[in-house]
Chain A
Amino acid sequence: MTTTTITPSPRPTTTIVPGVQRTLKNRVSIAETLSHTVTMAYRGLLKIKRTPEQLFDVTLQPIIFTLMFTYIFGGAIAGNVQNYLPIIIPGILVQTVITTSVVTGVQLREDMDKGVFDRFRSLPIARIAPLSGALLADTVRYLIATTLTITMGVIMGLRPAGGMGGVVAAALLVIVCSWAISWIFAFFGVIARTASSVQGISMLVLFPLTFLSNAFVPANTMPGWLQWFVNINPVSHLVTAVRDLMNNGTFGADAWISLLGAAVIVAIFAPLTVKAYMRKA
């Protein structure tokens, strides 16, 4: 465009370039799409900075859950707290970060109902940018939740045998998988009418998935029919993969299954979400 020249004078007297004299294009390039996505993600981060209270769930849940679950179940399940930490911290980590990904859908719905969304739609930017930007910005929440949970564990006495490398790999795996899962909630966010209904549906999906898993209690203590579900639940595989990485430093079959699951979710829900979103955007 020919209009990006900046006039430093407070009252620009430049006349506007007439519409018929401009060179215009009807396509947005991939590079531009990426740049718009990053700018939208920057907006997401600014919003987090402006309204830090919306980080309460991300910050408080890991702290409270770690304290609560460890002291309540620790003795019963692992004999003592110290032995329970390597089991429970990966469980809470997965549960917390996945729960955090619900926010993506809720906020997307809220955002799409606001006036500023009309402005985004009237700008010559990639249609997908507000959506992709939101998904990108939310990885920062996952990072915060991950860091806090692991730090809590270390404070309470967790000494991951997998070493720093194992912990970092585990954290990355959780963030990647949660990002994949956030596409499901983004889909709800796009098709739902209200933000609270997004919250409702998402929790309904999330609760069985996170609690009917091996996150808090070993599967072999459960009745047979439940074990069957717990063992096929992708969340269980993710929890096992995180335990392997943190406690042994090994990247095993469960980790591959988790990544495959994440890829499948993205393959299904990304096109669905984008399609539904484009229809509204």
Chain B
Amino acid sequence: MKKLKVFFNAMVIALFALLIGAGFSTQTAHAEKTYQIGTDVTFPPFEFANNQNKYVGIDIDLMKAIAKDQGFKVNIKPIGFNAAVQATQSGQIDGVIAGMNITPERAQTFDFSKPYYKSGVVMAVKQGGSVKDLNQLRGKKVAVKTGTSGAAYANSIKNKYGFKVVTFDDSSNMYQDVLTGNSAACFEDEPVMKYSIKQGTKLAIVTKPADSGSYGFAVDKGKNKVLLAKFNKGLANLQKNGEYKKIVDHYLESKGTNAGSSDHTFWGILKQNKGFLWNGFLQTLWLSIVSIFFATLFGVIVGLLGVLPYKFFQGLSSTIIYIFRGLPLLVLALFIYTGIPTLTGTKIPAFIAGVVTLMFNEGAYIAAFVRGGINSVDSGQMEAARSLGLPFSKSMFKVILPQGIKLIIPSFINQFIITLKDTSILSIIGILELTQTGKIIIARNLEGFKVWTIVALIYLIVITLLTWLSKWGERRTRL
């Protein structure tokens, strides 16, 4: 007990030291006039990790060019849009450039630069197709990506033009739906759309940007006036000397210099992303192993409760199985990750939320077949053991369980494989496992089909290995 306390104190002290040290280092950074600028994790073409996993994009190139023009240094931190906004408000960083729309609401808490980019929703159709304007959409389907301004725009005009909106979770699926002809068109922010076309998506923009908004660089209200002034001045210079156009064209114009510079063959994609994919694969494997361990533990305990000769425990077991088998995995994951912190006020790391989700869901299936397997052992076995004077627990462990376990080993192997596959659903809460890795790679190169093929093959290889391992284990236990 005492040892634990000492250890705990040491931890707290270490943590403080770390925090103070961190504060100190930012202060020295200020002294050298290096500005800390926050940005989003992935928002191509404004900010995204390139093939070498270096952060590039219009926002980043522009910020660097302005810094050079005005003679200051920047340190750009891709920490996510929300985190960047909050860190700016709390003064941890100096500003945020993240494709941020200038709105009156935001202008109350931030000072914005002059608009550096005008954006708006455009309509894109299949290259060489017959649909050319909004009036031709009557009675047809239109693809959008959930939560985008393109989706909002499409929904606002769908009655007027008489089309039906189909919503997708990511851009590449949305484009695919137009390319296969299921949907006649899609709606998307102009720069995002242009970037996709530059990356090789066979779509064409056929309308002028609608509902346009403007992006601005933001600092905390009333602070960093100097930085803001330098940004505005630098921006004006770049727009005058043509460098601004060069940066934007580099990302958006089809004849830009960057086109085709990255290898989009299977091998090319695999080679460029091998480290990234490997990490995703390791995360999937680790997530599976930890989840399988806890799900098995949980499942066996709940399953055994269900065969105890007490109505209360049987009912408890049935209820747990009923609830967690009944909930869709996706809903359970979101509930645990976002719902629980709302109720208790403590945040759960995504990995732990993921493990807990799988523990409950897969554990419920395991509990069901553990209970079923034990119940399917002939009741005469228990009677014979009890009639000899063996207590319930001894009868269970020496006679019933060994027979029950043999019956359920194939179900276990099956459940392990399902668990491994189900880890992919946890990409919804942002765990950077294999599926999420695939999504991020696609966000950058838009090669949905090829990347998903690679990801699928990796899953198949792992599952084949797991199956062999289990079969080997099964054979061992049979001896």
Q: Do A and B come from one complex?
A: no
Q: Which residues of A contact B (CB under 8 A)?
A: none
Q: Which residues of B contact A (CB under 8 A)?
A: none
